């Protein structure tokens, strides 16, 4: 089971694998004598793999954006849509077809979703910066009382 676990660890995102991969293998070797424990470690590694790629690496945002942006193309049957915009439709006095309305609605929905994902991402980055700054001001205040000034790097 060691090669299988090694492969699971190897499939983790490179930064995580470089930092913790060897330690994960070390723990596996420590516990591998118990077959049930080894199996549960493999399950943990599969869950960790999904977590690191889908949540921590930000891949989910890319996948969600691609899926939402592709919705209009997937929803409309081949060859059916005519290229007409609201401006052309209203300017020429033509009524937009149901297909056009669906296309416009889904495109708008896709764009809003992308903007929403970007906003959430930005808000999380700001929140993380604020937390780090809180920690840093705490470190500085403690260091001032201890008589030395730490470097931020």
Partner 1 sequence: MNARAGTPELEGFLPLGQAALYILLALAGEERHGYGIMLEAARQSRGKYKPGPGTLYDNLRKLIDQGMIEESRRASPTEDPRRRYYRITAFGRRVLAADVERLEAVVREAKARLRPPSARTI
Interacting residue ranges for partner 1, rule: CB under 8 A? 16, 19-20, 22-28, 30, 40-41, 43-45, 47-49, 51-52, 56, 128, 130-132, 134-139, 142
Are 1 and 39 in contact by the 8 Å Cβ rule? The answer is yes
Tally Cβ neighbours within 10 Å of residue 46.
11
7 vs 134, which CB is nearer to partner 1? 134
9 vs 106, which CB is nearer to partner 1? 9
List the one residue out of 53, 68, 72 whose CA is nearest residue 114. Answer: 68
82 vs 131, which CB is nearer to partner 1? 131
Residue 81 CB, shortest distance to partner 1, in Å, is 45
Residue 64 CB, shortest distance to partner 1, in Å, is 21
30 vs 82, which CB is nearer to partner 1? 30
How far is residue 24 CA from its own chain's centroid?
A: 23
Residue 91 CB, shortest distance to partner 1, in Å, is 53
Q: How far apart are CA 54 and CA 45, in angstroms?
A: 14
Cα-based angle 101, 106, 112 (whole degrees, multiple of 5): 125
């Amino acid at each position: 089971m060691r090669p299988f676990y090694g492969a699971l660890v190897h499939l983790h995102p490179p930064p995580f694998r470089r930092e913790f991969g060897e330690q994960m293998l070390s723990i596996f070797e420590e516990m591998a004598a118990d077959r049930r424990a080894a199996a549960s470690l493999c399950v943990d590694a599969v869950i960790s793999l999904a977590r690191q790629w889908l949540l921590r690496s930000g891949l989910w945002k890319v996948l969600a954006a691609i899926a939402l942006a592709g919705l209009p193309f997937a929803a409309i049957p081949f060859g059916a849509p005519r290229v007409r915009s609201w401006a052309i439709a209203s300017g020429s006095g033509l009524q937009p077809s149901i297909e056009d309305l669906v296309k416009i609605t889904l495109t708008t929905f896709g764009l809003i979703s992308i903007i929403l994902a970007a906003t959430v991402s930005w808000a999380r980055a700001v929140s993380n910066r604020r937390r780090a700054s809180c920690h840093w001001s705490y470190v500085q205040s403690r260091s001032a009382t201890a008589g030395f000034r730490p470097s931020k790097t």
